Amino acid sequence: MANIKTKKGTIGILTGGGDVPGLNPAIRALTIRAIREGYRVVGIRRGWAGLIELDRNSAQSRSEMVVELTEEHVNKVGRTGGTFLHTSRTRPSHVPKDEVPLHLRDTYQDEFNDLTKETLANLEFLGIDTLIPIGGDDTLSYAVRMHESGVRVIAIPKTMDNDVPGTDYCIGFSTCVTRTIELTHALRTSAGSHERFLVIEVFGRYAGFTSLLPTMAGAANRCVIPEHTFDIDKLCELLAADRYSNPSRYSVVIVSEGATFHGVETVFSGEEQDMFGHKKLGGIGDIVSARLKDLSPKYNSGRPINVINQRLGYLVRCGDPDALDSIVPMAFGNLAMGLVLDGVEGRLVCVHNGRYDNVPIEMVTSRKKLVDFKKFYNTERLRPQYKQFDSAPLFIMTGD
């Protein structure tokens, strides 16, 4: 497989970070267009991990880490969720000693190791002319490093949190919002039957788009987001009032996993960190639920209000993509291939003001993309606020 090139060249595709619906449609669109334009396409398995775990002296390693992509191959998986190339949260520039691949452990023995040299050597060995990584801000931050190291890179944004700077939309976001609305509505039957508060915890480390948008669509009475530290007593008061005004005597709040309230910091499910320095979030919904029950007698004539507490977790990122996450990835794949054909590199394909576009890849590391809570979030009422829709992005408050 080493240095095999067609007349036009070889394109490498990888997916990194968390899985979302829409990755396989993007790979499909990109592969089919590239092959028909005369390019060879290879998929790198397990994201950036594949480019450090590849042992250039092992045929078995090459077959495990790299797959030749054909139209027949991608057509079979193009309608499905997840990523058939698999994924990881690997950061080649910061690999812990115990995670250095076996064939490299004699060379790299520091507590944290920069394996960028190996990544570059493997890209050259595979004869990859253009690398197209599909991922969120962590995955694409290393794509910026590759671009700065001289690799031809075109990036595609993916994350259900929709928090990659430079684009209004990231692959996976629509399905996440759709599933959150569907599952929250389904849980209303239990909340109403028992006249309870319903607390839904959703993904969202830094950005609250995944709780704000479903609430705006009517899935919940209130939502709390990472961008604003809220008052739990105020939330209880609002939910109690919502419950009282509801003939079925229940109310709903959607809680971003990165949300905090006065006296409680960010909640982690464990102390282990990934290579990007992130601890796994999860559990704020449990704490909010317990506190709401404790506080509820104050707003319910001395009687406690029980709580249904549900963490949606992977239910909103598994399974097949919805319509938008089938269409946008197709467009992003073709946009990326269009840039390759034009000889352009170092770009991030994107949606901007409702139109497909591209921006410098450095946008990914320029800042964090967060909810403009002063504009779109009512901090007193703990729910979305929106007054003007003219010229707004499709998802209203996700413009970049």
Active site residues: 161
Residues 6+ apart with CB under 8 A from 328: 22, 169, 171, 174, 351
E strands in 225-373: 251-256, 268-273, 279-281, 307-311, 347-352, 355-360
φ, ψ of residue 326 in degrees (nearest 5) = -100, -35
Q: Are strands 112-113 and 130-135 parallel, antiparallel or unpaired?
A: unpaired
Q: How many H helices and E strands in the chain?
A: 12, 17
Residue 241: CB atoms within 10 Å: 13
CA distance 138 to 365: 9
- How far apart CA 382 and CA 230 sit, in angstroms, is 8
DSSP 86-123: ------TTSEEGGGS-GGGTTT--SSEE--HHHHHHHH
